[in-house]
Amino acid sequence: MRDITLKQIAETLGISITTVSKALKNYPDVSPKTRKAVLDLAQSLSYTPNSFAVNLRTKESKTIGLIIPEVVHHFFSNVINGIIDEAEKNGYLVIILQSNESLELEKKQVELLMNKRVDGIIMSLSNESNDDQHIKEILRREVPFVMFDKISKLIPCSKVIINDQKAAFNAVEHLIEKGCRKIAHIRGPVNPQNAIDRFLGYKKALEKNHIPFDPKLVYTCKNVTFDEGKEFAEQIAKEHPDVDGIFVITDLVAVGVLAYFNEVNIKIPEQIKVIGFSNWFMSQVITPKLSTVDQPSFEMGVQSFGLLLEEINAKKELHAFKPRTIELETGIIERESTLKK
């Protein structure tokens, strides 16, 4: 069955297409009798507006694109919830794409979203992102664009971030306050800015507290996984049995660390203390419960959509838009893995 058009409704009622369109939009210059006739016929024929035609006329798709490294991660799933919640309130649909930490896939997804004529794009970079030409193309085409969490400082767009360096500094100071003096760091890959900043925060905390930095105590994740946490925990236990504290790039890896220590009966926190990052839900259910940096993921999603909507509206109203950065606060959540015994 073919879709019902405004023209068919107009011909059936013997009125103009313009009058039908105005009646459906409740314009005051259409008489109540005509409006009722149009609405009744439209309902009986199951008429729905042609969204493609509306988009062409308004130059809006009422959709936005969201590219994230992985959907299953607790942090990103909370960000998605925040974005979708705000998008629905404002009449937008969200196309969610997962880059799987792949630069090539990320490039394809950017091109796909631009070809779909989305009204804007929100993005957290993949760990492989060391080439920003595809990002610059978004700006060249003047598509409203917001980065969050894993960002590039070189791209002049709006961003929603935390102060990763400060948060990491506070996490390591927390270990030091609990009596740790030989602290290892399981860091993220070398490319993402947040992994770099967390590593720098780790070093600064050691420096401030007059603890020598030892590069042998830094272990670099390739994929940031649970299994890497177990593998690095085993290496630390064998290579540096006197390590008494570990700061881990994210909770998923930290849970792997705890799992290994539990398997080999290394007591936490008595022998070694562990702190993670992001406040993943698993951090509260593993034994011992994991101390962590609380990262406001849902709020990051809310603020990311808010910045994108500001830019979309500015573009629609032909106003100049100046990108801005929102920095959200973090905090330390102390649990059993760092308690002072």
Gap between the Cα atoms of 245 and 332, Å rounded: 16
CATH code of the domain covering residue 313: 3.40.50.2300
Considering the domain architecture, whether residues 187 and 44 belong to the same structural domain is answered as no
Let me know if residue 138 belongs to a domain: yes
Please check whether residue 290 is in contact with residue 278, taking contact to mean a CB–CB distance below 8 angstroms: no
Is the same domain home to 42 and 148? no
Q: Is 80 helix (H, G, I), strand (E, B) or coil?
A: helix
The number of beta carbons lying within 10 Å of the beta carbon of residue 207 is 12
Asked whether residue 288 falls in the same domain as residue 184, the answer is yes
Q: Are 291 and 280 in contact (CB under 8 A)?
A: no
The 3-state DSSP class for residue 162 equals strand
Strands 291-294 and 273-278, sheet pairing: parallel
Exposure string (b/e) for 45-64, b if CB count within 10 Å is 16 or more? eebeeeeeeeeeeeebbbbb
Could you read off the pLDDT tens digit of each residue along the chain, which spans 341 residues? 456 788 888 888 999 988 988 888 888 888 999 999 998 888 888 877 665 555 545 567 899 999 999 876 788 999 999 999 999 999 999 999 999 989 999 999 999 999 889 999 999 999 887 778 899 999 999 999 999 999 998 899 999 999 999 999 999 999 999 999 999 999 999 888 899 999 999 999 999 999 999 999 999 999 899 999 999 999 999 999 999 999 999 999 999 999 999 999 999 999 999 999 999 888 999 999 999 999 999 999 999 999 999 999 999 888 999 999 999 999 999 999 999 76
User: Would the CA dihedral through 60, 61, 63, 64 be positive or negative?
Assistant: negative
The whole-number pLDDT of residue 168 equals: 98
What are 169's two structure tokens?
């500094």
Same domain, 171 and 290: yes
Residue 202 falls within a domain, yes or no? yes
Check: CB of residue 333 under 8 Å from CB of residue 291.
Answer: yes
Dihedral over alpha carbons 258, 260, 261, 265 (to 10 degrees): 130
Give the separation between CA 163 and CA 86, rounded to whole angstroms.
24
10 Å Cβ neighbour count for 137?
Answer: 14
- Extract the tokens encoding 190: 């070398």
Say yes or no: 315 and 267 in one domain.
Answer: no
Residue 243 sits in the same domain as residue 207: yes
Residue whose C-alpha is closest to residue 285's, from 237, 261, 251 = 251
As for how many domains the chain has, the answer is 3
Sequence-distant (6+) residues with CB within 8 A of 16 are 10
In a domain, 326, yes or no: yes
- What distance in Å separates the CA atoms of residue 107 and residue 83, rounded to the nearest whole number? 22
pLDDT the model gives residue 341: 62
How much is the pLDDT for 137?
93
Name residue, tokens 């009596």: 179
Give yes or no: residues 185 and 153 share one domain. no
Per-residue pLDDT tens digits for 245-297:
999 999 999 999 999 999 999 999 999 999 999 998 889 999 999 999 999 99
Contact assessment for residue 327 and residue 163, using Cβ atoms and an 8 Å cutoff: yes
Domain of 85 in residue numbering reads as 60-162+297-331
CB within 8 A of 24, min separation 6: which ones? 6, 38, 39, 42, 49
Residue with tokens 């006739």: 37
pTM of the model: 0.81
Whether 113 is covered by a domain: the verdict is yes
How many residues are recorded in the chain? 341
Residues 292 and 264 sit within 8 Å (Cβ to Cβ): no
For 186, the token pair is: 């399981």
Measure Cα distances from 238 to 232, 242, 253 in Å.
10, 10, 18
Token couple for 134: 């595809």
CATH code for the domain in which residue 38 is found: 1.10.260.40
